[in-house]
Amino acid sequence: MPLVERLVGGHLAEKRGDRVCYLDADLGAVTYTGLYEAIRGYAGALRARGVQPGTRGVVVADDSVATVVAVLGLWWHGCTPVPVSHMLTEPEISFIVRDCAARFLHLDAPAAKQLALGARFAALPRLTGDEVRQAFQTGGPAAVGGGRRASEPASFPADAEVLVQYTSGSTGTPKGVRHGLTGIRAALDGFGSVLALTPEDVVLSTAKLSFGYGFGNSLLLPLAAGAGVILLRGGVDVYVLAAALRRHRPSVFFSVPRVYAALLDWTETGCGCDLESVRLCVSAGEHLPQELGERFHTTFGVPLLNGLGATEVVHIVVATRPERTTPGSLGLPVPGVTVTVRDAEGREVPDGAEGRLHVAGPSVMLGYLDRPESTARTLAECGAYTGDIAARAADGSIRYLCRADDLLNLGGFKVSPREIETAARRAHGVADCAVVGSVDANGLEQAIAYAVPSAGVSAEDLRRAITQALREHLAPFKRPARVEVLDALPVTSTGKVARFTLRAAAGRR
């Protein structure tokens, strides 16, 4: 069955077409029938623009129904959607458009960025989020794409690439993760069966569609179940969340430990945050410290499912079960997934021993786009290394320990310290700079930038210049928590920056 039929069309056949699938900031409630019509119109517009099936289309957008229509419209037409965050900088987005050899652009970004991207890729056919919204508002969903509805949705072969999601590489250059149709289906059958959403559920996710976790939360899993989704546009802070929780009363809430910590801190200052409607909270993206999980349970009394996933395996592959959410544990592999812990040579280590987390099963990616060496490092022993260090207990449950690589995990976003250093060095007056990971009061990883001023530059001027450069050249979620100025960076006996000394110093504060 084509993907769009499994996710949308099937609900029409089951007489659920009039149920709401999305609540959108601009379009209000959109039904499954409405979504189906809009996707069909979008696919018709792709055909009319001469977009060839089998090519890739980049979708630069915040969360909205227009974004979902673009992704599903590309699938209908037989193309591979490549969702990209509108918060990335224009050079980053341009890199991705070129890297994946995109033949189509869906643009729904802040005005200046959208204008620049439109000019840079003037030769590519495109549609905008505004065009989709306008059609919806003036002529209803059937007017999307100018009313040139496509006929049947395309069928992908089982081994075809159907989705490319970009993730940070160790040097900061993003890598495209290629997913096959089999992998997407496996995610629906795997974590989807643990979550067991029903058409009565309404989900809310703070992770956006342009990231693997959010794509599963707000598109794959709820649509497969015929559930409803609340889409949040713009920045997501505690106020936006508290207002959305109160107003839309979701039954399942997906977020990251960093946001759960912010909700707890805010609630403990006496501001009410209402999770009354929520039957299940899901935490993934970064490590959930045991204390934070326990504090959440005490304050809100809602089960908090703790999961571990990776872009390379589509979504969550290890998770505690909704009925048994043991704080501190990651629980068990989801159905269809085999998880082992392995040493540097790829051999399994005994239960209880630390090692590299290895995931095998049909949700493992096809590979990185045009990165054979990275692919060979990650895809080995008939599965994928997630880049996490973990241990397995005798009962099969998994305990997370740390990252295996240099990447920082900032609220679920993997960020290379080198990428932050490069952006910081663009400020005037930087003689030296190093970025290290540290742990905040909630036990969550944060980045600290240490910098040394050039001669004649004051510490305060340098700190301010770096802060400004980071704001200009890095997406908000990649920015370090603090910038600190030192007279010199500590070095090892071989003359390299002593990052461990900096990490220790960062931890003492």
Partner 1 sequence: MSTVHDQAISERLRGIVASVLEIDEDAVPPAALFYEDLAADSLEKVEIAARVERAFGVRLSAGDAVQLRSVNDAVALLRRKGVATGPAEGGR
Q: Which residues bind partner 1 (CB under 8 A)?
A: 110, 234-240, 242-243, 246, 262, 266, 271, 464, 467-468, 471-472, 476-477, 479
Q: Which is nearer to partner 1, 239 or 500 (CB)?
A: 239
CB of 264 vs partner 1, minimal distance in Å:
14
Q: Which is nearer to partner 1, 346 or 476 (CB)?
A: 476
Phi and psi at 168, nearest 5°, equal -75, 135
Q: Which is nearer to partner 1, 392 or 479 (CB)?
A: 479
Q: Which is nearer to partner 1, 240 or 389 (CB)?
A: 240
Q: Which is nearer to partner 1, 185 or 473 (CB)?
A: 473
Rounded CA-CA distance 294/326 in Å is 9
CB of 306 vs partner 1, minimal distance in Å:
22
| Side chain identity at residue 396, one-letter code | G
Residue 266 DSSP code: H
CB of 227 vs partner 1, minimal distance in Å:
25
Q: Which is nearer to partner 1, 170 or 422 (CB)?
A: 422
Tokens, residue 150 = 């496509």
CA dihedral 247, 253, 257, 263 (to 10 degrees): 20
Rounded CA-CA distance 29/477 in Å is 29
Tokens, residue 398 = 């998994």
Give helix 90-99 / helix 111-120 axis angle, nearest 10°. Answer: 40
- The radius of gyration of the chain from alpha carbons, rounded to an integer in Å, stands at 23
Q: Which helix (H) or strand (E) holds 194?
A: helix 191-195
Rounded CA-CA distance 317/400 in Å is 13
Rounded CA-CA distance 506/449 in Å is 10
Q: What angle do CA 43, 48, 54 make, to 5 degrees?
A: 60
CA dihedral 149, 153, 154, 157 (to 10 degrees): 170
Rounded CA-CA distance 39/45 in Å is 10
Identify the residue whose tokens are 């004649």.
Answer: 456
Task: Determine if residue 129 is left, alpha or beta; phi over 0 gives left, psi from -120 to 50 gives alpha, anything else beta.
Answer: alpha
Q: What ranges make up the beta strands (E) of 48-137?
A: 56-61, 80-84, 104-108, 126-128
Rounded CA-CA distance 403/459 in Å is 32
Q: Which helix (H) or strand (E) holds 379?
A: strand 379-380
Tokens, residue 108 = 């729904």
Q: Which is nearer to partner 1, 65 or 244 (CB)?
A: 244
Q: Which is nearer to partner 1, 196 or 243 (CB)?
A: 243
Q: Which is nearer to partner 1, 95 or 266 (CB)?
A: 266
Q: Which is nearer to partner 1, 381 or 461 (CB)?
A: 461
CB of 245 vs partner 1, minimal distance in Å:
9
- Cα separations (Å) of 21 from 29, 240, 470? 8, 21, 38
Q: What angle do CA 401, 482, 423 make, to 5 degrees?
A: 95
CB of 238 vs partner 1, minimal distance in Å:
6
CB of 401 vs partner 1, minimal distance in Å:
27
Q: Which is nearer to partner 1, 14 or 237 (CB)?
A: 237
CB of 235 vs partner 1, minimal distance in Å:
4
Rounded CA-CA distance 271/250 in Å is 19
CB of 110 vs partner 1, minimal distance in Å:
5
CB of 242 vs partner 1, minimal distance in Å:
4
CB of 68 vs partner 1, minimal distance in Å:
21
CB of 206 vs partner 1, minimal distance in Å:
9
Which three-class secondary structure state does DSSP give residue 380? Answer: strand
Rounded CA-CA distance 375/285 in Å is 21
Tokens, residue 99 = 């890297």
Residues 122-128: contacts with CB under 8 Å, at least 24 apart:
124/97, 125/46, 125/49, 125/50, 125/51, 127/42, 127/45, 127/46, 127/49, 127/70
CB of 464 vs partner 1, minimal distance in Å:
6
CB of 266 vs partner 1, minimal distance in Å:
8
